Amino acid sequence: MPGLEDLYREIILDHYRSPRNRGELDTPPASRTEGFNPLCGDEIVIYLILDDPSKGDQAIVTDVKIGGQGCSISQSSASMMSVTVLGKTIEEVHQLTQAFKSMMSIHEHDIGGDGSEAEAGVGAVSGVENPSDAVSLGDLEALRGVVKFPVRIKCATLGWNTLNQALDDLLNSSV
Ligand code: ZN
């Protein structure tokens, strides 16, 4: 019977080999934002369209396309992210970002462990709220194992940082 780690590896490789929402959008109306992770040489380009940026946090991601190149972690994370954020409001995207980053950082304290403690600790994160309880990360859960390799965390979060940069740019330019 395959273990959870094998399942996670399958999901990551599937997104790497068949990236979702891969491509480009016309700019404008789409915004184009680039992100780089010099540690690994990863590059992510995000094309993003909101239904109405003047709605602020309630604006909806109506289209997103991902370009760029890099390692399997960076590219699969961006692919999963694109699926997850499509059709969501900016507020929800921010919640997902928080949840994803908290999943990444929780485990930073467990480096060197076998992961079992980390799994048990997920529901008991210290802090005001536990964002990962409020939202479902879906396939993104597969990246949980990345935290055992701290140098790869920047690979996994590159797409999210680039997306949030894109959202900031869109909201600011609409004012
Ligand atoms: Zn990388």
Per CATH, the architecture of 4-174 is what?
Alpha-Beta Complex (3.90)
Question: pLDDT digit string (tens) for 14-37?
Answer: 999 999 999 999 999 999 999 999
Ordered by start, the domain boundaries in the chain are 4-174
Question: pLDDT digit string (tens) for 94-110?
Answer: 999 999 999 998 544 44
Residues, CB within 5 angstroms of ligand 1 (ion)? 40, 42, 71, 74, 155
Confidence grade of residue 5 (pLDDT, cut at 50, 70, 90): confident
* Residue 128 pLDDT: 43
* Residue 115 pLDDT: 43
**Which amino acid makes up residue 141?**
E
CA-CA distance, 14 to 141, in Å (whole number)? 14
Ligand 1 centroid from CA 144, angstroms: 15
pTM over 0.85: no
Ligand 1 centroid from CA 146, angstroms: 11
Residue partners of 87: CB distance under 8 A and separation at least 6? 60, 61, 62
CA-CA distance, 75 to 87, in Å (whole number)? 21
Statement: residue 165 has pLDDT above 60: yes
The encoded tokens of residue 163 equal: 């997306």
Ligand 1 centroid from CA 70, angstroms: 6
